[in-house]
């Protein structure tokens, strides 16, 4: 029997909270067409991701990847920071 390798799902989104230790909340936006009216609308998902080094700040654009469940709500991990938030 051949072994099958599964590729992990990945997503890109903005960090909206880093108040938890080693965890960030990432908002992933996806644009879909409304089934009846055809208008393009934006849907959001808030995902908790594991951030081992506490390196993310709110506003950062990050890439996350699905992994095994790490806690009750956390089943994603940070892959890399694509863009840092601008300082005001």
Instruction: Specify the DSSP class assigned to residue 23.
Output: E
pTM, 2 dp:
0.85
Domains of the chain (ranges, CATH numbers): 10-83 (2.40.50.140)
Give me the tens of pLDDT residue by residue for the chain, a chain 88 residues long: 666 677 889 999 999 999 999 999 999 999 999 999 999 999 999 999 999 999 999 999 999 999 999 999 999 999 999 999 887 6
Write out the DSSP string of 32-88: EE-TTT--EEEEEEEEEEE-TT----TT-EEEEEE-S--SSSEEEEEEEEEEPPPP-
């Amino acid at each position: 029997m051949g072994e099958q390798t599964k590729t992990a799902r990945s997503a890109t989104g903005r960090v909206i909270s880093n108040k938890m230790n080693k965890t960030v909340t990432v908002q992933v936006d996806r644009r879909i067409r409304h089934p009846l009216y055809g208008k393009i609308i934006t849907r959001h998902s808030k995902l908790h991701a594991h951030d081992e080094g506490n390196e993310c700040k709110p506003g950062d654009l990050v890439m996350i990847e699905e992994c095994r469940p790490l806690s009750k709500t956390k089943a994603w991990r940070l892959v890399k920071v694509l863009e840092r938030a601008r300082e005001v």
